[in-house]
Amino acid sequence: NAGVTQTPKFRILKIGQSMTLQCAQDMNHNYMYWYRQDPGMGLKLIYYSVGAGITDKGEVPNGYNVSRSTTEDFPLRLELAAPSQTSVYFCASSYGEGREQYFGPGTRLTVT
Partner 1 sequence: GQQLNQSPQSMFIQEGEDVSMNCTSSSIFNTWLWYKQEPGEGPVLLIALYKAGELTSNGRLTAQFGITRKDSFLNISASIPSDVGIYFCAGRWQAGTALIFGKGTTLSVSS
Could you say whether residue 43 binds partner 1 (CB under 8 A)? yes
Question: Exactly one of 19, 27, 45, 60 binds partner 1 (CB under 8 A); which one?
Answer: 45
**Could you tell me if 29 and 104 are in contact, meaning their C-beta atoms sit under 8 angstroms apart?**
no
**Could you tell me if 47 and 76 are in contact, meaning their C-beta atoms sit under 8 angstroms apart?**
yes
Q: What is the 3-state secondary structure (H, E, C) of 18-78?
A: CEEEEEEECCCCCEEEEEEECCCCCEEEEEEEEECCEEEECCCCCCEEECCCCCCECCEEE
Question: Exactly one of 58, 61, 63, 75 binds partner 1 (CB under 8 A); which one?
Answer: 58
Q: Tell me the closest approach of the beta carbon of residue 57 to partner 1, in angstroms.
A: 10
Which span (13-21, 67-75, 78-86, 94-102) binds partner 1, by CB under 8 A? 94-102
Interface contacts to partner 1, rule CB under 8 A = 4, 33, 40-45, 48, 58-59, 90, 92, 97-106
